[in-house]
Structure 1
Amino acid sequence: MSPSSSLPPVLFEALYKGERHVAFDRPAPGTPQTLYRVADGQLASAFVGTDGSATAVKTAVTGRAETVTVTADDPEVRPLPPLLPTATGNALLSGFMGTHKKKWGGETAPEGVEFTPPKWFFKGFGDWVRLPGEPLDVPARPVALIEEPEVALVYVNDADGTPHYAGYTFANDLCDIGLHRKDPGYNPYCKLCDTALAPWLFLGPPPRSVNGRVSIVRDGATAWEGSFDCGGDALYFPIQGMVEHLFSFPAVRRPGLVNYVLLGADEASFHDGFRIADGDRVSIDVKSHGVAFENAVRYVSPAPLGASAAGVPAA
Structure 2
Amino acid sequence: MTALFECSYGDERYFGFAPPTDRAGLRLYPGSGDELAAPILESGGDIDALTAGREPVDVPAGDRDKVRTRVPLFPDHVGDALVSGFMKTHNVKVDAATPDQPNWFFKGLGEVLKLPGEPLSVPGEAVAVCEEAEVVLVYVGDAEDGRPRYVGYTFGNDVTDIGRFKRHNGHLSYAKLCDSAISPALHLGPPPSLVTGETVIERGGALVWKGPFTTGTSALHYDLDTMMATLFAHESLHWPGRVHYVYMGADRSSFHGGHAMADGDRVTLDFRSHGIQLTNPLVRMPEPRPAA
Structure 2 length normalisation: TM-score?
A: 0.93
Q: Is the 8 A contact 1:38 1:65 kept in 2?
A: no
Report the alpha carbon displacement of residue 86 of structure 1 after superposing the two structures with TM: 1.7
Q: Distance in 2 between matches of 1:127 and 1:65?
A: 31
In structure 1, stretches of 5+ residues that fail to align are: 1-7, 110-114, 308-315
Mark the CA change 1:151 to 1:72 in structure 2 (over 3 Å): closer, same or farther.
farther
In structure 2, the partner of 1:170 is 155
Q: What corresponds to 1:12 in structure 2?
A: 5
Letter in structure 1 aligned against 2:102: P
- What is the letter of the counterpart of residue 40 of structure 2? F
Pair 1:119-2:103 in alignment: yes
Name the structure 2 match of 1:67.
57
Residue 246 of structure 1 aligns with an amino acid whose one-letter code is L
Partner Cα distance (1:292, 1:168) in 2: 15
Q: Aligned match of 2:253 in 268, 273, 282?
A: 268
CA–CA distance in 2 between the matches of 1:72 and 1:204?
32
The Cα RMSD (Å) is 2.1
Question: Given residue 83 of structure 1, which amino acid in structure 2 is its aligned partner?
Answer: L
Q: Distance in 2 between matches of 1:79 and 1:27?
A: 9
Q: Deviations over 1:14-41 (max 9, x none)?
A: 1112321101133553222101111551
Identity %: 43
Q: Taking structure 1 as reference, are residues 28 and 138 closer, same or farther at Cα in structure 2, changes over 3 Å only?
A: closer
2:225 alignment partner in structure 1 = 240
Runs of 4+ in 1 over 4 A off after TM superposition: none
Partner of 1:215: 200
Residue segments in structure 2 that go unaligned for 5+ positions in a row: none
Letter in 2 for 1:158: D
Does residue 225 of the first structure (1) align with residue 215 of the second (2)? no
Q: Which has the larger radius of gyration?
A: 1
- Counterpart of 1:46 in structure 2 is 39
Provide TM-score, normalisation by structure 1: 0.87
For residues 221 and 266 of structure 1, do their structure 2 counterparts lie closer, same or farther at Cα, with a shift above 3 Å needed? same
The one-letter code sitting in structure 2 at the alignment partner of 1:173 is D
Letter in 2 for 1:123: K
Equivalent residue pairs, number = 290
Aligned residues of 1:42 and 1:61 also touching (Cα < 8 A): no
For the residues of structure 2 that align with 1:170 and 1:19, how far apart are their CA atoms?
25
CA distance in 2, matches of 1:87, 1:70: 31
Instruction: Give the Å deviation of 1:244.
Output: 0.7
Post-superposition offset of 1:65: 3.5
The residue that corresponds to 1:151 in the other structure is 135
- Cα deviation 1:64-93 (Å, max 9, x = unaligned): 335232339811111111100021211111
Residue 306 (structure 1) shift: 6.5
Q: Using the TM superposition, give the Cα deviation of residue 248 of structure 1 relative to its aligned residue in structure 2, in angstroms.
A: 0.4
Contact 1:29/1:73 (<8 A) preserved: no
* Counterpart check, 1:89 vs 2:82: no
